[in-house]
Amino acid sequence: MNLVWGFILIPVIAICLIPFLKMGGKAIAVYAAVSLIAILTSFVAIEALLGKTFNCTLPGSFISGPIRLQVDALSAWFMLIINFGFLAGGFYGLFYMSAYKNQPKNLTLAAILFVLLYTALVSLCAIQNSFVFIVVWEIMALSAFLSILFEHEKVATVKAAINYLIQSHVSIIFLIIGFIWVASQTGSYDFGAIHAYSLSHPGMFSMQLYLIFFIGFAIKAGFVPFHTWLPYAHPAAPSHISGIMSGVLIKIGIFGILRMLLLINIDYTSIGIFILIISLISGIYGIMLAILQHNLKKILAYSSVENIGIIGIGIGLGCIGLGTNNTVLCSLGFAGALLHTLNHSLFKSLLFFTAGNVYQATHSMDIEKMGGLIKKMPQNAFLFLIAALAISGLPPFNGFISEFILYSGLFSLLHNASAVSLLGIVFTITGLVAIGGLAIICFTKVFSVVFLGNPRHDFYHEIKEVSHFQLLPLYFIVTFIVTIGLFPKIFLDLLTKPVQLFTGLRQLPFNSFHGNGIEVLSSVSMSSLYFILTILILLGIRKLVLRKRAILISSTWGCGYTAPTSKIQYTGSSFSRTYSKLFAMIFLINKKEKDVQGVFPLYAHLETNIYDKTEKWLIDYPLGRLKYFLSRFLFIQNGRLQTYVAYGIVFIIAILLLTAVDTVFNTTFMH
């Protein structure tokens, strides 16, 4: 109990203090608060991961009823991810934000919001009362909204933030519908009531309830077609916030989906197939659009959609395993999903932080203007490269491990499946492979266009590496990425308890990952070590051999042409041109073109703009129709004060009349 009060007191004290502190004090206060909460919650979380669930009930109010808090293994896993994300992101943010020293008011707000967002996210993992859950969810959504608004003088930022605000409230509406449904049927806001309700109403009702929750959480997580807010919100926010949003915030959607899976008793096979299909679409569509973008952070945002898809594939497989009583598939599916959640939070936040460094150096996010940054910011380029390799799912990094677990699950299914499900398996494997291949296109493009070659644009300020302190948390993340890649066993063992929660839903016999077909992971890490060893030996040999040889530095081979300009380099668009032509029917590329004309052309112009087809048809089109319909009623808003007063009077009279009618009705019926 004391723990909980401490947990509530720390952010309250920090938030009250921050406005009165000086710049350095603010930074210390924010980070101290975050660290204290992180230590406190990690302590509880690690205990939960080792098997000791934390339980506690707050008295609550007469509206909410008693507020139950519970940290089980699933909450613990997500809590630790959130803690790590905020510790690294916060540390990075301290230095990132120092560029905005001249806006003290803005920074105060940002500091308060950071603490608030963190506290809200961590508590969401533990709260077991739907009323309080919604309130905290709203705090989380609003603080994220205001955090995005940091650079509010830019129109695009305001637009993106409002887009996010509206979409996250659509998500809240779905959640409220789900919670009220249960509360109205059972009279309790406790999460236990959801479980009890679904047990007493199996079949259609539970399925509908789950789908409502799924949509609510999927908007937050960014599954296609609910992803349209991501590509706006991530680029608009300051980089440490976008890293946290993509690495941690959208994972709370995944957490919700998993939590509801534990609570609602449904037909796991059909929901598994549903999640699998929607995830495959998310994965492929997300990365396909990512390849085309020109804005660095937008690329990363779309790639988040892809990775949410991979996580979803794991959840889908796990559900199918549950439905068919297949312990191996169930455990591998959920383990893959949970591990990829961690992995994605690591490399995606690293990518956003390095992108933030690029932004601070160039003041631009347009990759077509960059190039050659590796010479100006070698460390940053190296960090980005590691993250790019990891996110492409390549060994010896962590992305490969989670994808390998998913593949193992899929291939383990092959032996005893029917023809139809085999087709499903093959399509899933193909989808996962295609996602991997597309990710390679995407990240080779981004890395080479941003960091390699010659600069494509003259910046009128010096481009230099950011401070070492700012790079420090990034190296810390890299350590984790490599550790998971080389020694996955440790992390897999930590996943035993969370996965047991899911296998326990059907009493599947699952005690640990030993004897589960996944001890091959030690062979995988062995092979990865071989790979690293081979590279090191080769580099040694190379160094020895080249020591005595003549090394010349010359210009790039230019087919006999000796005065190349940086303009002849392949740009991002040209790199993906063949690809974008091949899949033209999927994309919506608006082109503005003015061809060269005449013998001595002076001016030519080409502008391409990639738009999302799902956004056009699912958001813009219905909104346009709605606007058209509502515009018919514009006469009501005529701008005359007298009419507005009249509306008020009519409204008051209507209310009075209605009450009067109601009382008359009641009295007549009473007698």
Q: From CA 285, how far away is CA 264, in angstroms rounded?
A: 29
101 or 548: CB nearest other proteins: 548
CB of 441 to other proteins, least distance (A): 4
Could you tell me if 172 and 144 are in contact, meaning their C-beta atoms sit under 8 angstroms apart? no
Could you tell me if 392 and 436 are in contact, meaning their C-beta atoms sit under 8 angstroms apart? yes
E strand or H helix at 593: strand 588-594
Q: From CA 523, how far away is CA 527, in angstroms rounded?
A: 6
CB of 529 to other proteins, least distance (A): 10
Q: From CA 648, how far away is CA 419, in angstroms rounded?
A: 67
CB of 546 to other proteins, least distance (A): 6
C-alpha torsion sign, points 451, 453, 458, 460: positive
433 or 604: CB nearest other proteins: 433
Fill in the DSSP letter of residue 610: E
CB of 59 to other proteins, least distance (A): 52
CB of 334 to other proteins, least distance (A): 18
CB of 360 to other proteins, least distance (A): 21
538 or 623: CB nearest other proteins: 538
Can you say whether residue 610 is alpha, beta or left, with left for phi > 0 and alpha for psi between -120 and 50 degrees? Answer: beta
CB of 537 to other proteins, least distance (A): 9
CB of 293 to other proteins, least distance (A): 16
CB of 415 to other proteins, least distance (A): 5
List the beta bridge partners of residue 58. Answer: 67
List the beta bridge partners of residue 609. Answer: 590
CB of 232 to other proteins, least distance (A): 28
155: helix, strand or coil: helix
514 or 640: CB nearest other proteins: 514
Could you tell me if 572 and 586 are in contact, meaning their C-beta atoms sit under 8 angstroms apart? no
Name residue, tokens 């709605």: 626
Cα torsion at 475, 481, 487, 488 (round to 10°)? Answer: 150
CB of 428 to other proteins, least distance (A): 10
216 or 453: CB nearest other proteins: 453
Q: From CA 425, how far away is CA 436, in angstroms rounded?
A: 16
Q: Measured between alpha carbons, how far is residue 358 from residues 236, 295, 447, 614 in Å?
A: 15, 12, 12, 30
Q: How far apart are the first and last CA of the chain?
A: 54
537 or 653: CB nearest other proteins: 537
Q: Measured between alpha carbons, how far is residue 455 from residues 140, 444, 560 in Å?
A: 40, 17, 22
- For 153, phi and psi rounded to 5 degrees? -75, -10
287 or 494: CB nearest other proteins: 287
9 or 606: CB nearest other proteins: 606
CB of 216 to other proteins, least distance (A): 34
CB of 359 to other proteins, least distance (A): 21
CB of 115 to other proteins, least distance (A): 39
453: helix, strand or coil: coil
Planar angle of CA 564, 569, 571, nearest 5 degrees: 160
433 or 650: CB nearest other proteins: 433
411 or 611: CB nearest other proteins: 411
Q: 495: which 2 tokens? A: 């996943």
530 or 644: CB nearest other proteins: 530
By the 10 Å C-beta count (0-12 exposed, 13-18 middle, 19+ buried), 178 is classed as buried
Task: Residue 619: count other Cβ atoms within 10 Å of its Cβ.
Answer: 17
List the beta bridge partners of residue 608. Answer: 591
- For 498, phi and psi rounded to 5 degrees? -60, -40
Q: From CA 300, how far away is CA 491, in angstroms rounded?
A: 26
Name residue, tokens 């087709």: 423
Could you tell me if 67 and 127 are in contact, meaning their C-beta atoms sit under 8 angstroms apart? yes
Closest listed residue to residue 303, CA positions, set 289, 323, 324 = 289
182 or 289: CB nearest other proteins: 289
171 or 343: CB nearest other proteins: 343
CB of 544 to other proteins, least distance (A): 10
Q: From CA 284, how far away is CA 667, in angstroms rounded?
A: 63
Could you tell me if 222 and 614 are in contact, meaning their C-beta atoms sit under 8 angstroms apart? no
Amino acid at residue number 335: A
Could you tell me if 493 and 512 are in contact, meaning their C-beta atoms sit under 8 angstroms apart? yes
Q: 567: which 2 tokens? A: 């303009």
206 or 412: CB nearest other proteins: 412
67 or 425: CB nearest other proteins: 425
